Chain A
């Protein structure tokens, strides 16, 4: 990548960082709320005195917080600009959509990672947590690969508010809710109604969770509350491959959909804040 592209992508990181800074009290509120709702879910496992359940819930909470935070940051980036009235200025700058969305995603991943860290450390205030024996580098790899697929989904969702200012944001939330439901974040997919189960194969979160469970060793019979016996990374390769393919398909597809919608908006005059 050349300097120009890096500088342009960094412009979005720069902007998002300063917006975060200026809305800092909201950031604190959001993080507090995320932490508390994570803790209330994880405490269900503590109440059941089942360390496997607790770990599964903690894992679900972490992964979902990270992926959904990233997804919604990307998905809302365009509607936010439309609301501020800056969208036309972003669209008339000589920035390719790939670079634009790369910059947005870069910051979204950074922000989601901070949220994840806050939740991990926050949870230790509520319950004893030990990841001793877990394959943490492997887990990190799952997050990185999984975020590509989620970035692609975010891109597709991002254009919805441009196409329909009234219903776009609603559609994004419904979509996110469906993902949460079908991916088996807090429970095995098997407990879903039969007709719903096949849909879980389409969600990247399903594979990210399944790989993470192996890499933490939460379902390994040899694991104990103080010492987890985790799988080596090679056992998560099928999931990683699927995630990678999903990313490789969803990112170009997301960009293509985005470009189609952008052209449509420029034909029909929908970029303007009003009307």
Chain B
């Protein structure tokens, strides 16, 4: 019998990006996006990764999504190793990124059914599920067949969430799911995330630079700054001795924090 294994296990994860420039591309600059990050997320837990732009949040999520190969460290998802067991890991994760990555000429229905089939779910099973999810996210049924390019950012993001939930993944990776949304959509998305966690016991890793969101949704929060996980704990632990979470972040990490700023990439 093994002790309860964490949903996410990350030990000393490092990722460097090299860019070449200059004569014969001989000048190489190294950018360490992750400088040895370690943390664990328990099954059913919601963990918030808080950090300003460029702190490495998306890089971390991409490594966990098998889209980037880390340069060092040990990573396991539900006990599956990375690198090595990508195929197994892909079956258990759903991801939402800050940019709505869709076929913009296609409708929500077509986009969602395509995604479902990639995961081996039949169209007849996926369609009612998708409709149900979209309804709960307050998208009207009649918009199901409009093309995505006609939809607002908020609506597109809700459909991105529906795509991730549709496959009913035990682990959800939400990379700034509410950045750039209008207040109403933001609230809809947040309460939907709460519902999902409650009803399905889904493990969630959420990155954000919205302090209130992290406090509302996450059981534990980590402060990520310049590729390092500086501290982690419950919101109450972190705020202890400071006025609020933002002040705690600034004082603890020594970093400035620009809230409400749209990320320029995923």
Residues of A within 8 A of B (CB): 3-4, 7-8, 10-11, 14-15, 18-19, 22-23, 84-86, 88-96, 263, 266-269, 271-275
Contacts and interface: CB of A to CB of B under 8 A. Distances in A.
Interface residues of B, number: 36
Interface string B241-266: 00000000000000000000000011
Given A19-B103, A84-B102, A268 B18 contact: yes
B101 A15 contact: no
Interface SS of B by simple majority: loop
A266 B67 contact: yes
B122 interface: yes
Contacts of B17: 268-269
Contact of B120 (A4, A14, A272): A4
Nearest to B100: A85
A23 B106 CA distance: 10
A15 B93 CA distance: 22
Contacts of A8: 117-118, 120
Interface stretch (B49-57, B108-116, B203-211, B227-235): B108-116
Given A84-B102, A272-B265, A93 B118 contact: yes
B102 A10 contact: no
Which one of B105, B118, B121 has the greatest number of beta carbons of chain A within 10 Å? B118
B119 A93 contact: yes
B101 A93 contact: no
A90 to B, nearest CB: 7
Given A11-B114, A94-B87, A89 B119 contact: no
Given A19-B106, A85-B266, 9 more contacts: A14-B123, A19-B105, A84-B101, A85-B99, A86-B102, A86-B103, A92-B67, A92-B93, A266-B67
Contacts of B91: 94
Nearest to B266: A272
Contacts of B265: 272, 274-275
Nearest to B147: A22
B72 interface: no
Contact of A266 (B69, B93, B101): B69
A23 B105 contact: yes
A269 B68 contact: yes
Contacts of A15: 103, 106, 110, 114
A contact patch SS: helix
A78 to B, nearest CB: 14
Contacts, number: 95
Contacts of A272: 265-266
A14 B101 contact: no
B65 interface: yes
A261 B117 CA distance: 25
B200 interface: no
A183 to B, nearest CB: 34
Given A22-B106, A86-B101, A11 B117 contact: yes
B185 interface: no
B90 A93 contact: yes
Interface string B85-102: 001001101010101011
A22 B148 CA distance: 12
Given A22-B147, A94-B87, A11 B105 contact: no
B122 A18 contact: no
Contact of B106 (A3, A18, A268): A18
Nearest to B64: A92
A86 to B, nearest CB: 5
B81 interface: no
A84 B117 contact: no
A46 B114 CA distance: 47
Nearest to B116: A11
Interface in B6-25: 17-18
Contacts of B147: 22
A7 B117 contact: yes
A3 B117 CA distance: 11
B104 interface: yes
A275 to B, nearest CB: 8
A18 B113 CA distance: 11
29 contacts: A4-B120, A11-B114, A11-B115, A14-B110, A14-B114, A14-B117, A15-B103, A15-B106, A15-B114, A18-B114, A19-B106, A22-B105, A85-B101, A86-B102, A86-B103, A88-B67, A88-B97, A89-B95, A89-B101, A89-B115, A91-B66, A91-B67, A92-B67, A92-B90, A93-B118, A94-B91, A267-B68, A269-B17, A272-B265
